Amino acid sequence: MKRLIKLFSNSLTARLAGYFALVVLIGTVLIGYIAFSRVGVMARSSAIGQLQAVANLKEDALDRWVEEQRRSAVLIGSLPEVREWVETILNTGQPESARQKSREQLSEYLKFAVANLSDLRELAILDLDGNVVLSTDRLSEGQNWGQEPFFIQGRSVLYVQNVYSSPRNGEPMMSIAMPLFDSSRRRVAVLVCHLNIERLDRIMLERSGLNMRGEVYLVNSDRQFVSVSPARQRRFGNPHSFGIDEALAHKDGFGEYINYAGDPVIGVYRWLDHRELALLVETPRSPVYDPARRLMFNLIIIGGITGAFLVAGLVFFSRRVMRKMRLLYQSGSQVLGDHSGEAAMVSDEDEMSSLNRVFLKMSDKIRGQQNEIRSQAEAFDKTRQILQRNEAHLRTLVDHLPDVLIQIKRGGDILYLSPSVKDVLGYQPEELLGQDIMDYILPEDWASIREIMHDLRDHPLQLRRFEIRFRHKDGVYRAMEVLGKSVHDEELTVLLSLRDITRRRWRK
């Protein structure tokens, strides 16, 4: 260690190599960290974008599924046969044999519907007091569901009761209820459809076509997992995490947090207000940042290898420079005691003097160019002031001309009018700007005007004199003598000078 310290103290090459290696090391680590940070931010943004896309897809799939079940319930409840069977079963005035037959037919149909519609778990018919008259689940018959929200709301309108805990076993369930009417449009019963909540498992677990590992799940307002295995519910009980707590607080957002299982994740959380559910889409955090970590380590390794080669090259060239410096030192020593060496130094100084003279000449030339540019700038400023004065003078002349100046685009739209249009034709200039000039010319003059305009555009140097009848603001057409010429500005336009000759025509 002492030898190393002594070598570092006494050797300029060693100090240069050491400082350079330190700079390379710090720069490599800094570049690696910056790359990790930037790539990490992009990876996180990409992951959040994909998670939000998955959340949108799952929310849309959930809404479509509920809507399909609503349509299925409406279809079943609106069948004439179902209404006829229900009316017969609940009508105590009907013969018992007819009621029993209707009961058997309705039971068979409901079982058929449950068997063929996999998303239905149970179909039940309730009287208006909430008693279960008929159900595909024999255990439900005879029970009273009169206090259930789906029955209370379903007596009047089609009602979807969002996920709630079953009073029978505490499991999450979802129900749809709607009133049933007899042939006289009187409400006689309520159709209740208990949905197969396990269907939500398939909706949540279906791959969304995005390159994303993760988990999608629902939590109801009672902090229960919706449509998950009982073992998972027993293991985690009432789940808690930042995402779950925020979603149950009716907030939407995303972020990095520890999920209900204690794993770090990047997640998107939403509160589905119309479903009263919290939707969470999460992916493990570590795989998201793996590309950024690999990039950082690769940059550090590449930087280290490159730095080692650069340090070796620096050592090699610095030794050659040191040899030159030693030779220069020896030459200097000889100059101090040898007249021939001093003469050599004078030769070197002459080369520096010639280089100095070149730089002085260049400096003088630059100063001369600066003075020339400054003179040109002053002349340009004077010219600009003269042009501004001339422009103001010209505009004053145009504004006080008795004739009306009109500049027209190729399509006939009016681009400019002189203020004298107010005195001659009664219009304010802004009233006519952008308008088609043909709208104000007597239609009998259109053909000749178009021919003249076309001729003026084809012959830019030509000056044409002609007459038109232009509509005054009071509605009366005035005879106007026109002098026209094409003008090349940013685009090809036609400039017209109009003079009112109506009185002259009357005198003639």
Least confident stretch, 26-30, 240-244, 354-358, 450-454: 354-358
pLDDT score of 257: 94
How is the chain split into domains, by residue range? Answer: 207-287, 340-399, 401-507
Residue 436: both structure tokens together: 């088609």
Residue 390: predicted pLDDT: 67
pLDDT single digits (tens) 147-200: 999 999 999 999 999 988 887 777 788 999 999 998 888 999 999 999 988 888
CB 132 within 8 A of CB 141: yes
Structure tokens at 74: 């409406």
Encoded tokens for 473: 């603001």
| Mean pLDDT (the chain, rounded) | 83
Over residues 449-478, the mean pLDDT reads 89
Give the 3-state secondary structure of 23-81: HHHHHHHHHHHHHHHHHHHHHHHHHHHHHHHHHHHHHHHHHHHHHHHHHHHHHHHHCHH
For residue 279 the two structure tokens come to 């939707």
Query: Which single residue is written with the structure tokens 């119309």?
Result: 274
Q: Residue 182 class from Cβ within 10 Å (0-12 exposed, 13-18 middle, 19+ buried)?
A: middle
Could you tell me the two tokens for 28? Answer: 């490599």
C-alpha 480/C-alpha 491 separation (Å) is: 26
Task: Write the DSSP assignment of 154-217 as a string of letters.
Answer: HTTS-EEEEEEE-TTT--EEEEEEEEEE-TTS-EEEEEEEEE-TTHHHHHHHS--SSS---EEE
pLDDT of residue 331: 53
Confidence (pLDDT) at 94: 85
How many CB atoms are closer than 10 A to CB 478? 20
Q: Are 315 and 323 in contact (CB under 8 A)?
A: no
pLDDT given for residue 503 in this prediction: 82
Helices (H) and strands (E) in the chain, counts: 14, 15
* Tens-place pLDDT, residues 222-241: 888 886 555 565 666 788 89
The reported pLDDT for the residue numbered 24 is 83
CA distances from 422 to 126, 392, 406, 408, 436 (A): 84, 21, 13, 18, 18
- Residue-by-residue DSSP string for 89-114: HH-TTS-HHHHHHHHHHHHHHHHHHH
Using an 8 Å Cβ cutoff, are 72 and 120 in contact? yes
Nearest CA among 158, 175, 67, 159 for reference residue 123: 175
pLDDT at 116 over 80: yes
Q: Is the pTM of this model over 0.75?
A: no
Crossing angle for the helix pair 80-90 and 12-78, to the nearest 10 degrees: 60
> Which architecture does CATH list for 401-507?
2-Layer Sandwich (3.30)
More confident residue, 346 or 390: 390
In this structure, what token pair is assigned to residue 494? 């036609």
- What does each C-alpha distance from 11 to 14, 239, 317, 321 come to in angstroms? 5, 66, 14, 13
| One-character DSSP codes across 334-360 | HHHH-HHHHHHHHHHHHHHHHHHHHHH
> What is residue 355's predicted lDDT score, i.e. its pLDDT?
40
Phi, psi of 435 (to 5 degrees): -85, 155
pLDDT for residue 272 is more than 90? yes
DSSP annotation of 376 reads H
Encoded tokens for 409: 């685009």
Beta strand pairing status for 404-408 and 414-417?
antiparallel
Task: Work out the average pLDDT over 265-280.
Answer: 92
Calpha distance 195→63 (Å, rounded): 14
Cα–Cα distance between 417 and 396 in angstroms, integer?
A: 14
The encoded tokens of residue 144 equal 């009273």
Residues whose CB is less than 8 angstroms from the CB of residue 190 and which lie 6 or more positions away in sequence, other chains included: 125, 126, 127, 128, 130, 151, 154, 155, 177, 178, 179, 180
pLDDT (average), residues 476-486: 91
Q: What percent helix, strand, coil does the chain show, rounded to 5?
A: 55, 20, 20
- pLDDT category at 341 given cuts 50, 70, 90 is very low
- Find out whether 183 and 83 touch, Cβ atoms under 8 Å: yes
Predicted confidence (pLDDT) per residue in 290-319, tens digit: 888 888 888 888 888 888 888 888 778 777
| Residue 213 exposed, middle or buried by CB count within 10 Å (0-12, 13-18, 19+) | exposed
Same fold, 207-287 and 401-507: yes
Give the CATH fold of the 207-287 domain.
Beta-Lactamase (3.30.450)
Per-residue pLDDT of 30-84, as tens digits, reads 888 888 888 888 988 988 998 999 999 999 999 999 999 999 999 998 899 999 9
Count of residues in the chain: 508
Mean pLDDT, rounded, for 316-323: 74
| Contact in structure between 90 and 180 (CB atoms under 8 Å) | no
Helix (H, G, I), strand (E, B) or coil at 478: strand
